[in-house]
Chain A
Amino acid sequence: MLGRPQKILISLDLNGQRYELAVEPRSTLLEAIRYAAGLTGSKQGCDKGDCGACTVLSNGAPILSCISLAVEHQGDRITTIEGLAHGGKVHPVQDAFDLCGALQCGFCQSGMMISAAALLERNPKPTREQIKEALSGNLCRCTGYTKILEAVEVASGQRQLAELDPRPTTGSPA
């Protein structure tokens, strides 16, 4: 009706589930994920590959979904923030980000946590410099990155949770 090229059917393995999505040839992977599949956890901050909020894993590697065409990912295994949790438990990166206060507004953090999870997958004990390097494509405007770096150190078991005074146990006086 809008005089556009015909939509193309693509098949994605999105967080372990098969999706058949009709997308325009011009659609980005981010648009396919957010608007066609309805998984809104991946964010659009700039729509031109500058901010990293749209970062997802494509066959295990972090990519910027806002500058990737959806049709080029036919059949790919895509992991978004919604797919990071497993077996009813959040990913250690997600838990650490929450615990360490790394989530201020949270908008950049879907992409940030995806980049962090990908880092720990290939390098389980990264140094602080390696963490900074791996997250340098994800812009955060709230935190000054400090708590994010700490969270990745916690998630990788290199910083102790006890220092962070985790939440109290339920129902009894402290």
Chain B
Amino acid sequence: MSFGKKLNVVGRRLRKVDGLQKATGAAVYADDIKLPRMLHCKILRSPHAHARIKRIDFSRCLEHPGVVAVLEGKEIPTRYGVIPWTPDEQALAADKARFVGDEVAAVAAEDELAAEEALELIDVEYEVLPPLIDPAEALREQRIKIHEDSKQGNISKHVELSFGDVAAGFDRCAAIADETFYYEGSTHTPIEPHCAIGNYDADGNLTVWSSTQIPHYVHRELSRVLELPEARVRVIQPFLGGAFGGKSDPFSLEFAVAKLSMKTGRPVKCLFTREEVFWAHRGRHPMKMRFKVGLSETGRIESVDSKILIDGGAYSSFGLVTAYYAGQLLTGPYQFGAYHFDSTRVFTNKPPCGPKRGHGSVQPRFAFEVALDMAAEKLGLDPIEVRRRNFIGENVKTINGQLITSNGFLRCLDLVEKASGWKERKGKLGFGRGLGVAGSMYISGTAYPVYPNEMPQAGIQVKLDRSGKVTIFSGASDIGQGSNSVPAYLIAEEIGCDPRDCLVVVSDTDLTPVDLGAYSSRVTFMLGIACVEAGRKLWAQISAAVAEKWGVEAARIEGSLGTIFVPETALSMSFKEAVRLAEAKFGTLGATGSYRTEKLGGDYRGGTIGASPAYSFTAHAVEVQVDPETGIWTVERVWAAHDCGKALNPTLVEGQIEGSVYMGYAEAAMEEMTYLPSGLHRGPSLLDYRIPTSLDTPELTAMIVESGDPKGPYGAKEAGEGPLHPVIPAISNAIHDAVGIWLTELPFHPGKLLRLLREKGKPRAPVPPVEERISAAGESRA
């Protein structure tokens, strides 16, 4: 979707519409909101990983000075979940606590300290149950069930899909890599902790301000759980201090502040502590993966087989989708001859995992891209060359039935090859220094909404004022990626106004059209299409009115940055004058646009999961330096080339690439969500968990490839999640190039590297079957 015309706004490095609000500290985030008579809420959490709640006694708590109201799970017992098929969460656990940190009760008090003190005065009688911490044990265990109503043991979701004859494919192979990988869990750690304010007013309307990236789903679930009509519930997302998927579930605090406000008739705020953010989690799933990748003599990927055990934590969250994504999103940018995957997500008594940036597909991508290098090495094939040879192409279907439209992967490979000096330097850097490469593919939104319906996934409303002001109502959630600015850029491009004359009213379910939220890299693509549609309707009116005035054909009229004109003539007027002419001719001016789901995906059960209207592609090259004495490795530079279709604003796209590379690097280098055998987190603080500082983060070069997607707005596709994937396997592959060992477990601690270096050269013991290895790995970890 694009004009042949010259672009005035799209593609330029413009400022964000709200950048200076953020720069000056004026932007209001959830915890900056203070309402008259506001109470403060604190949530009591389970000290046990698995325990039945027998009785909660609030009598001592209610006597504490400042306490106004208390809340327990049985008052709002309706089960919910972001995926409507797996509602297994309660705002506060009414029957069982399922992890250390699970929410059990809440208090509202005159101030935060009083609420905090009061928590200690709540007496909960628990019947402690044996916890299941290790996923392999949870898979085997039939007697202890984390969710009593699970159909099968502790299995959250099992998916097995097969495409083509995998066994016959392996028979044709000249080289096979068969390896077990482990991807450690990690969490988002947005710098803003979760916060919500509920206000139930005297007229029976509930307003919840929340640091959520899914206001629409929070709206639906609040209504259901609190038994209020949807029309009486309003969800407002203020400025949001980072999310990365960590704020894309409804959370206990949203229900707690709402219900406590209904009970007290006063506004109630709840702000998570940093420790509570670690409990809320929904981060990267730990995955144990066996991958078998087979190449033909010419390096063609004949067959891929994977078996994946996913540690889901205590609740479903998006887990149904995770189990699918672990297999469904791997089928590009390379052509597979045959493919089979078997993924199982199990419940464990740990904080629930969910969708962290690159949901479900970062882990198998790591395993696959390393296994691909292992197999290519056996054939003596260059890692870039083997990726080129298997390029799937444009306008093709993947083996699992997903339609790929534009595909700039080869250009991504070319760019990182050139920038890294690959041809001249690969294999010539000496022991201890190496180059690695990896590729990936990601979705630009999911073709289907999480709850089936025929309505649009994204919508936009635009109001034109005779002052020249353009007010755009957008339901999209800006989580830092810039979705508040995208509508201003696109509408301004379409109707010729100055983007700075656009006011973008955002993410307020009472004021803005429904947008399903900031997840699956869907926003720019879907919101963008809605904007273009609305803009073109308005331009038709503006250009018709101006054409009538000037007596020229409407098609000759152009608009740019606040001026409406006919090129190569003296005919010119301000945008404001043009709007006045249009308003006089057509009446009050406004338009809507929407993005509707299209029918896509494979014709089999689960074939729509992973179906996207467009896919992005990425290639990274990494240069590492390894100290073989200490095992310490450093990244000299990352070259990241990403096909985003069209960069609507290159500065913002680069920012997404850079942020993604950083986050992937962090997972490779240091981040891990690990627990004691009791289920207690080993260090739920930023200091103990450790995320990279400016000194830890490698220098990186972001490069944009524009393949111009035929469906995307001005050709645009996603940029926010895809570029996270390749850096992790590229580092592993670079370390192999440097010192000859394969790192197959994250994070790549120097200790692991050193151990492998010392083992190198020793004969390897026969490899036991994957189930035994998975269970052995689990036991040694616990």
Interface residues in chain A, defined as those with a beta carbon under 8 Å from any beta carbon in chain B: 1-4, 34-35, 38-48, 50-51, 53, 80-82, 84-85, 90, 94-95, 97-101, 103-110, 113, 131-133, 135-149, 164-168, 170-174
On whether the beta carbons of B480 and A106 are closer than 8 Å, the reply is yes
B274 lies within 8 A of chain A by Cβ: yes
Residues in A neighbouring B500, C-beta threshold 8 A: 167, 170
Instruction: Select one of B240, B685, B697 contacting A46, CB under 8 A.
Output: B685
Q: Mark B104-147, 1 if CB is under 8 A from A, else 0.
A: 00000011011000000000000000000000000000000000
On whether the beta carbons of A105 and B23 are closer than 8 Å, the reply is no
On whether the beta carbons of B24 and A82 are closer than 8 Å, the reply is yes
Question: B673 to nearest A CB, angstroms?
Answer: 15
On whether the beta carbons of A170 and B25 are closer than 8 Å, the reply is no
Question: A81 to nearest B CB, angstroms?
Answer: 4
Task: Give Cα A82–Cα B244 distance, bound, in whole angstroms.
Answer: 27
On whether the beta carbons of B686 and A51 are closer than 8 Å, the reply is yes
B695 lies within 8 A of chain A by Cβ: yes
| Known A43-B241, A142-B242, A165-B13; 7 more pairs at CB < 8 Å | A41-B25, A108-B242, A110-B25, A145-B697, A148-B694, A149-B694, A171-B574
The B540-575 residues at the A interface (CB cut-off 8 A) are 560-563, 565, 574
Question: B114 to nearest A CB, angstroms?
Answer: 5
B32 lies within 8 A of chain A by Cβ: yes
B662 lies within 8 A of chain A by Cβ: yes
Given contacts A1-B66, A139-B691, A168-B561, contact A47 B242 (CB under 8 A): no
Residues in B neighbouring A47, C-beta threshold 8 A: 273-274
- Of B174-182, B345-353, B426-434, B649-657, which stretch is located at the interface? B649-657
On whether the beta carbons of B192 and A45 are closer than 8 Å, the reply is yes
On whether the beta carbons of A104 and B694 are closer than 8 Å, the reply is no
On whether the beta carbons of B29 and A2 are closer than 8 Å, the reply is no
On whether the beta carbons of B191 and A108 are closer than 8 Å, the reply is yes
Question: B30 to nearest A CB, angstroms?
Answer: 11
On whether the beta carbons of B114 and A147 are closer than 8 Å, the reply is no
Q: Which 6 pairs show the lowest CB-CB distances between chains A and B?
A: A41-B25, A107-B241, A144-B662, A105-B480, A106-B22, A104-B480
On whether the beta carbons of A147 and B655 are closer than 8 Å, the reply is yes
Given contacts A40-B32, A43-B241, contact A139 B191 (CB under 8 A): yes
Interface residues in chain B, defined as those with a beta carbon under 8 Å from any beta carbon in chain A: 8, 12-16, 19-20, 22-29, 31-32, 34, 65-66, 110-111, 113-114, 188-193, 239-244, 273-274, 479-482, 498, 500, 560-563, 565, 574, 651-652, 654-655, 658-663, 685-687, 691, 693-695, 697, 700, 702
On whether the beta carbons of B658 and A105 are closer than 8 Å, the reply is no
Question: B492 to nearest A CB, angstroms?
Answer: 10
On whether the beta carbons of A132 and B694 are closer than 8 Å, the reply is yes
Residues in A neighbouring B695, C-beta threshold 8 A: 132-133, 136
Residues in A neighbouring B562, C-beta threshold 8 A: 170-172
On whether the beta carbons of A171 and B563 are closer than 8 Å, the reply is yes
Instruction: Select one of B14, B662, B694 contacting A167, CB under 8 A.
Output: B14
Question: Which residue of chain A has its CB nearest to the CB of B478?
Answer: A105
Instruction: Select one of B27, B28, B191, B660 contacting A45, CB under 8 A.
Output: B191
Question: B54 to nearest A CB, angstroms?
Answer: 31
On whether the beta carbons of A101 and B190 are closer than 8 Å, the reply is no
Question: A8 to nearest B CB, angstroms?
Answer: 16
Task: Give Cα A109–Cα B480 distance, bound, in whole angstroms.
Answer: 12
Residues in B neighbouring A166, C-beta threshold 8 A: 13
On whether the beta carbons of A103 and B66 are closer than 8 Å, the reply is no
Instruction: Select one of A44, A138, A141 contacting B189, CB under 8 A.
Output: A141
Given contacts A140-B191, A141-B242, A142-B480, contact A168 B23 (CB under 8 A): no
Given contacts A40-B28, A105-B240, A106-B241, contact A167 B111 (CB under 8 A): no
Question: A97 to nearest B CB, angstroms?
Answer: 5
Question: Which residue of chain B has its CB nearest to the CB of A24?
Answer: B113
Task: Give Cα A138–Cα B12 distance, bound, in whole angstroms.
Answer: 30
Residues in A neighbouring B480, C-beta threshold 8 A: 104-106, 142
Residues in B neighbouring A103, C-beta threshold 8 A: 16, 19, 22-23
